[in-house]
Structure 1
Amino acid sequence: MSSARIVGLIVAAGYSSRMGTFKPLLPLGGKTVIEVAVDSLRMAGVADIRIVVGYRSAELYPVLDQLQVDIIENPKYSQGMFSSVVAGLKTFAGDAEAFFLLPGDTPVIRRHSIKDVVREYRKTNAAVVYPVFNGERGHPPLINATCFDRILSGDGADGLRGILNEYEADSVDVPVADQGILLDMDTMEDFNQLTCFYLRRHIPTYDECLAILNKHQDDDRVLQHGHMVAEIGKSLASHLNCAGLSLSTELVYTGGLLHDLGKGKPNHPKRGERLLRCKGFSELSSIVASHMDMELKPECAIDEAALVFLADKLVQGTRRVSLSERFTPALDRFAGNREIIDAISRRKRTAEVIWNQAASILGMHLDEIVFSANNP
């Protein structure tokens, strides 16, 4: 994907009046908000990044000077965001083919969202391409040079939105599995929510998981099965954490939801792994890759991948089953095929190792956890 002629324009010139503190320099995961916004564009391949400053600009310069970005002063920042868009656009209108517009207070955008928007733009050459999550448009839209003159000649009465609405017939929406496109920070409550999202960004949220499945998997049974696997895995992880382990219940739950993402395709664990790795979820992709076939020796420690593997073997469709109930029919069915029998037996042994380790750590029979709820 080439984005050499696509500019990333970040506007950070406003008063932060609703927040009550200067938003661009708020701390976010060891960086500042403005640094995270730059990272969001740069990590997706946008090389030309420009930042419009105004209010308290002197405080931003020491940070921005380290980021290899172009800094644009907007002396009219008191007139609102549209004036900052115009100030920025004037610096590249004759050179760029399009630009991403990212408000500085919407800093956490997943890399794959930017790439998906660019891919759609290359395919359609639309006037505006909007990322969409759960049916709602978010940031950053990609605005084609078709709109530049109209923006530069606008009076700002209806803001940028009013101008872009004129191009609605030539605009397209791109569904993305990215809740961050909707998360801005007008209040401290918003900022706290954004911080939580950023700190766990390596794991998709529940709604993001649903968006991923909606895009790549059209079999409702996969989601129903995934829910059951996720619930069992999370319950086991929670109990084990109470016994002294440090497992990520979120990672286990998400792994359970998405473990069959590639179901119905050849080598579906590998397909699911690739899809998730491309979206930046490397830990999760490894869990999905090993959910069907892994080997855990008795001396190895239980991890999140092991719990998803076990939980998957304890669910047949949407029904909770014992390991014997899960494996015995398959062993009987393929009794004449040594290669298949060896594979099934290996999976059964691995599941039994995980089961026995967990039971030993907890000092209880796992049936009390796995079958604590009635089968659906």
Structure 2
Amino acid sequence: MKHPSITAVIAAAGYSSRMSAHKALYPIGDELVIERAVRILSDGGVDRVYAVTGYKRQLLHPVLRRMQSDYPLAIIENPDYKRGMFSSVLAGVRALPDETEGFLMLPVDYPFVEPRTVAMLIESADHSDADIISPVYNGNPGHPPFIKYTVFNAILEADENAPDFRGLHSVLSSPAFRTESVEVDDCGILDDIDDDSEYRSMIKKHCRLDVCYPGPFEIDRIIRKKRPSGQTVRHMEKTAELAVRYAERLNSCGHRLNPGLLKAAALLHDICKPEPDHARAGGRLLSEFGYPETGEIIAQHMDIIHNEDDEIDEAAVLYFVDKLFEEEKLMTLDKRLELKLEPYSENSETGKNIRERFKKAGLIQRKINRICTGL
């Protein structure tokens, strides 16, 4: 049974600076992180969810608006997100209705909490005089705490300039409030995703999804081993930056690309250049390092099998984005094609192959544009 005055606040306004893309837009199975967080809270008995957005909110809002047809969900913009997570707590509390008895506070990077844990916290709050109900797993407190209305004013009036202020923790740990711990059989209350390594570990642990791709340390190790030119490294970095932006945009529009996997492939796609058939050589190299999924994407970046009915995946995005760069310079497909064809006669075999590759890139570009514009 839902409780009409029980709400939840999801803090999703931060920078996700330690991840390849906005963490709320990472996939977990057939859901995005932000979608999973909303569903968990609603399935657990929360009457209304308040999703607080800030950084890249233009990408999160389409996802959240689509969910509003199925879930009681409000979107709250936090203009002060640069001040840190407590600013999102404030934005959420200010948006709560006057009759709110309490709310669950869930950072978006804790998407592995189980709905039964949410239900247990709500039930415990119904039968407790405590101001704060904290879930505990094996003696360790986690998220989301249930915070009753008796704490709201203290949150809104907190002195953020105090030398020992530590955000919401400082408010909740005040001796003015009583906390009750509820032991739950749910390790998800402790499991967050602060970086790509944790993301990979957690989806394997909770969802049995084993998607392995190199992180910054491994990428640097591979680059030091192969020693590509500085120009090649800069080209790969530019390609990765744009490819991730496309992944975020596509996920915002309903896709489920893995931004971390795509970024890793883009940062290494020319790692074997100028070897013959460097794309497949790079694919083999990444497989030898233990990253076959990354290698498969790299192997296709020079020539891909992609038809009108095929899905846009990480390999298609990398294939297309790579064609937009002449070294580090971004340009249109038409301009890049013109430059590529300059050394060859119109009817040469090489020229025909180049045109065919760019024809595929154009197809991918049109499909991406249709997805992102809805036309």
Correspondence 1:259-270 to 2 at 5 A: none
> Deviation of residue 93 (structure 1)?
5.3
The structure 1 residue matched to 2:106, chosen from 89, 102, 106, is 102
> Deviation of residue 81 (structure 1)?
0.4
Correspondence 1:85-164 to 2 at 5 A: 85-92=89-96, 94-156=98-160, 157-164=165-172
Distance 2:97 2:4 in 1: 14
Q: Is the 8 A contact 2:2 2:47 kept in 1?
A: no
Q: 1:94 to 1:167 in 2, by over 3 A?
A: farther
SS of residue paired to 1:48 = strand
Distance 2:105 2:47 in 1: 14
Distance 2:104 2:15 in 1: 22
> Deviation of residue 139 (structure 1)?
0.5
* Partner in structure 2 of residue 18 of structure 1: 18
Per-residue CA deviation, residues 131-163 of structure 1 (Å, 9 max, x unaligned), is 100110010000000000010011333211001
Distance 2:29 2:20 in 1: 20
Distance 1:82 1:169 in 2: 19
Distance 1:179 1:53 in 2: 26
> Deviation of residue 23 (structure 1)?
0.3
> Deviation of residue 19 (structure 1)?
2.1
Range 146-155 or range 164-173, more displaced: 164-173
Q: 1:165 to 1:136 in 2, by over 3 A?
A: same
* Partner in structure 1 of residue 35 of structure 2: 35
Q: Which runs of 5+ in 1 are unaligned?
A: 202-376
Q: Is the 8 A contact 1:44 1:115 kept in 2?
A: yes
SS of residue paired to 2:127 = helix
Per-residue CA deviation, residues 227-280 of structure 1 (Å, 9 max, x unaligned), is xxxxxxxxxxxxxxxxxxxxxxxxxxxxxxxxxxxxxxxxxxxxxxxxxxxxxx
Query: Are 1:195 and 2:199 counterparts?
Result: no
Q: 1:151 to 1:92 in 2, by over 3 A?
A: same
Q: Which runs of 5+ in 2 are unaligned?
A: 210-375
> Deviation of residue 109 (structure 1)?
1.2
Query: Are 1:7 and 2:11 counterparts?
Result: no
Distance 1:166 1:26 in 2: 35
Distance 1:120 1:72 in 2: 27
> Deviation of residue 31 (structure 1)?
1.1
Query: Are 1:179 and 2:187 counterparts?
Result: yes
Identity %: 39
Q: Is the 8 A contact 1:99 1:144 kept in 2?
A: yes
* Partner in structure 2 of residue 63 of structure 1: 63
* Partner in structure 2 of residue 261 of structure 1: none
Correspondence 1:179-328 to 2 at 5 A: 179-200=187-208
Partner amino acid for 1:70? A
Distance 1:125 1:134 in 2: 24
Figure out how many residues of one structure are paired with residues of the other and give that number.
201
> Deviation of residue 189 (structure 1)?
1.5
Partner amino acid for 2:122? V
Partner amino acid for 1:46? V
Distance 1:105 1:123 in 2: 29
SS of residue paired to 1:95 = coil
Range 190-199 or range 180-189, more displaced: 190-199
Per-residue CA deviation, residues 26-82 of structure 1 (Å, 9 max, x unaligned), is 111111000010111011111201100000000111100011121000000000000
Q: Is the 8 A contact 1:93 1:145 kept in 2?
A: no
* Partner in structure 2 of residue 234 of structure 1: none
Structure of higher RCO (CA pairs closer than 8 Å, 6+ residues apart) = 2
Range 112-121 or range 31-40, more displaced: 112-121
Q: Is the 8 A contact 1:8 1:50 kept in 2?
A: yes
Q: Is the 8 A contact 1:52 1:84 kept in 2?
A: yes
Q: Is the 8 A contact 1:125 1:144 kept in 2?
A: no
> Deviation of residue 120 (structure 1)?
1.3
Partner amino acid for 1:40? I
Distance 1:28 1:190 in 2: 13
Q: 1:71 to 1:169 in 2, by over 3 A?
A: closer
> Deviation of residue 194 (structure 1)?
1.8
Q: Is the 8 A contact 2:8 2:48 kept in 1?
A: yes
Q: 1:34 to 1:111 in 2, by over 3 A?
A: same
SS of residue paired to 1:90 = helix
Partner amino acid for 2:4? A
> Deviation of residue 2 (structure 1)?
4.2
* Partner in structure 1 of residue 86 of structure 2: 82
Range 86-95 or range 69-78, more displaced: 86-95
Runs of 4+ in 1 over 4 A off after TM superposition: none
Q: 1:200 to 1:39 in 2, by over 3 A?
A: farther
Distance 1:89 1:125 in 2: 21
Partner amino acid for 2:194? D
Distance 1:197 1:93 in 2: 37
Per-residue CA deviation, residues 304-362 of structure 1 (Å, 9 max, x unaligned), is xxxxxxxxxxxxxxxxxxxxxxxxxxxxxxxxxxxxxxxxxxxxxxxxxxxxxxxxxxx
SS of residue paired to 1:4 = strand
Q: 1:190 to 1:168 in 2, by over 3 A?
A: farther
